[in-house]
A and B are shown apart, each in its own frame.
Chain A
Amino acid sequence: MITMSPTEMLEPETVIDVRDLVKTYGEGDAAVHALAGINLTIKRGDFVTIMGSSGSGKSTLMNILGCLDVPTSGTYHLDGVDAASLSEGALADLRNAKIGFIFQSFNLLRRTSAVRNVEVPLAYAGLSRRDRRKRAMAALASVGLAGREDHRPNELSGGQMQRVAVARALVTDPAMVLADEATGNLDSKSTEDVIRLLEDLNVAGRTIVWITHEHEVARHSKRRVVLVDGLITVDERIVAVDAPPPLWKPRSATELAVEPIAVEVA
């Protein structure tokens, strides 16, 4: 699927390596520099929040990190692979295998049951129906939605929908989970649930990149990056990459609905 030449190999634990990333919308005088030269390296197992006011370029950065958009200039290596060198089909495989998305607006398929939504990336990965169902059910259980597999998005609350989206993001066992304002549409209780889920994922070894403007979310991360006008102005490490998230607490047996995901899907 994705082949790497030895020269393209970076340090093994580097998941994201961004160099001089520029993204410009429009041309000439009307050109807007959404990203004006970003350099960013994220190691495996890190939990990074990228903050910034609206218009700071954080969503643009997230779209490029997620291979949903392409930069105007600069390079982006994901897990050692240069994203610019990949064909459209290879990029699709990359998104499918390496990245789990969590969007602000959930982006679930309408009129489609929770379990079927979670199965979508597995279908494109070519898994058999039985394996898909098994893994999707496990992922739903891990986000505390066991028993709600057959509910459709319109039958779920916002928090539940986002938990379906989290299940969908982690079901392929991706190298990185990209969350874009994942709690932007949620109440405080649901926000807490989602933060806890992502903390658990991180503890299980998953790399988390979370674009947000909420300081509450940032408090839970290991590293805080602030964007202003397309440039990184703050890059602050809160705890070490291999430490647990700063506010993470091990759950009691009753609190923990299921085993952490990594065990289920590894």
Chain B
Amino acid sequence: MLVENIRIALSGLLANKLRTLLSVLGILIGVMSVTLLLSVGAGASKYVSKQVDQLGTNTLYVFIKDPSLLDASASKIRKPALTRRDLVALESPELSTVIQRVVPDISSTVTVSAARVSRTAAVSGTSSEWAPLNNRNIAQGLNFTQTDVAQRRRVAVIGPKIAASLFPNSGAIGKQIRIGSSSFEVIGVFESRGGGLLGDQDSGITVPETAMTDTVTGAFESYSQIIIQLRDGATKTGQDKIREVLLREHRITDKAKADFDIFDNAQLAATSGTISTVFSALLGLIAGISLLVGGIGVMNIMLVTVTERTREIGIRKALGAKRWHLLTQFLVESVVLTGVGGAIGAGIGAGLAQIKVGGFAPILQPWMLVLAMGVSAFIGVGFGVYPANKAAKLRPIDALRFE
């Protein structure tokens, strides 16, 4: 008899093709939009946190303290400075588990000119690792290499803004610019970063540290800062280990008397965390609203269908159908409708989620399909069976007379 009820349900679905089609469509659209919205939300969230990560939340900056703040007795022993020795110590295997990159930085603000244009710019003498550490891509030309550093070549990679201001009418690659009083060849232009949490990043110039000391700062004295990129997950332990090594290098036993400071991007990390939280909440909200919308669509079509079919229920009851016959019939119908509609909707949703929108790709995860189909199946079956049960409880004559 159960098999018979299933057969009755299926032939009912086939007999009422338009109604079946509309029900399937309602569920399909519900599931599709939930899937799509969830994956777009997840994609957007990932995109934003990636943007934040680009700013380098796992980056440390080592500075020498302002001498006036230092204990006078300490400064007599040794003039505080960040030297190549420090750099070598930081690159030791001892720290390789926590440190990914160590980059020296000799910064200076100098006059930069080309042809008739001249302006001031922040110039960094550094290593070839500066660009990857700061997540900077080269838009045109190339970054300089460690060979350039070793051979003290006078080459420069410049920001897109300064490139545009020095060479307004032509490309910058291969051109000569003057940094201070020396001539450098532009070999690369950075990709634009735009304004961000770190301010203008498009007007800087990087050159090999050796070329910097040869031309701008004169004989090597000390680094302005050492930039360290930690390995993922080493933020906490990394900072302590680095402090330990530098204290040893600087022969300081008392931690409180350290002649250097380590700055991290704690602020940025906190911001990143906040953004993630906001996005998770937003994602939840989107999921909730789209499930509601999809659910109401499914609910409506099921309610309309069952109301329209109260007369059929009356006829079947008059002919000897019991309540469980009718419930099984409507249950099977609802399951088939939500199953077919859900599967097609999930398919289309998953397909559309492959399309990039606004520079980021939606991220489709299995749980989204499960949630979308689960909720619409639940609502579809619920609102298919609940009113059917109500109609099945009516006296046959009331169901027959129902208009």
Contacts and interface: CB of A to CB of B under 8 A. Distances in A.
Contact of A124 (B11, B12, B314, B320): B320
Contacts of B396: 67-69, 95
A71 to B, nearest CB: 12
What DSSP secondary structure best describes chain B's contact surface? helix
Interface residues of A, number: 30
A101 B312 contact: no
Given A69-B395, A107-B400, A111-B15, A120 B323 contact: no
A67 B395 CA distance: 9
A11 interface: no
Interface stretch (A85-93, A185-193, A217-225, A227-235): A85-93
Contacts of A109: 312, 315
Contact of A120 (B1, B314, B319): B319
Given A111-B15, A126-B1, A97 B320 contact: yes
B168 to A, nearest CB: 75
A127 B24 CA distance: 32
Contact of B320 (A103, A108, A121): A121
A149 B311 CA distance: 23
Residue among B312, B316, B319 facing the most chain A CB atoms (10 A cut-off):
B319
B320 A89 contact: no
A125 B318 CA distance: 13
B4 interface: yes
Interface string A227-246: 00000000000000000000
A103 B319 CA distance: 12
A111 B16 contact: yes
Nearest to B399: A68
12 contacts: A68-B317, A69-B397, A88-B323, A97-B320, A103-B400, A109-B315, A110-B16, A112-B12, A112-B15, A120-B319, A121-B320, A123-B4
Interface of B: 1, 4, 8, 11-12, 15-16, 311-312, 314-323, 325, 395-397, 400
Contacts of A63: 397
Nearest to A123: B4
A120 B314 CA distance: 13
Given A68-B317, A107-B400, A111-B15, 5 more contacts: A63-B397, A68-B400, A69-B395, A101-B319, A123-B8
Contacts of A125: 320
Contact of B318 (A95, A111, A112): A95
A190 to B, nearest CB: 21
Contacts of B397: 63, 68-69
A66 interface: yes
Task: Kindly list the 8 A-B residue pairs having the minimum CB-CB distance in the complex, ordered from nearest.
Answer: A96-B320, A124-B320, A68-B397, A111-B15, A68-B396, A121-B319, A92-B322, A69-B397
A67 B397 CA distance: 9
Contacts of B4: 123, 126
A63 B400 CA distance: 11
B323 A124 contact: no
B314 to A, nearest CB: 8
Interface string A153-197: 000000000000000100010000000000000000000000000
A169 B400 CA distance: 16
A95 B400 contact: no
B328 to A, nearest CB: 12
A89 B316 contact: no
A124 B15 contact: no
Contacts of A95: 317-320, 396
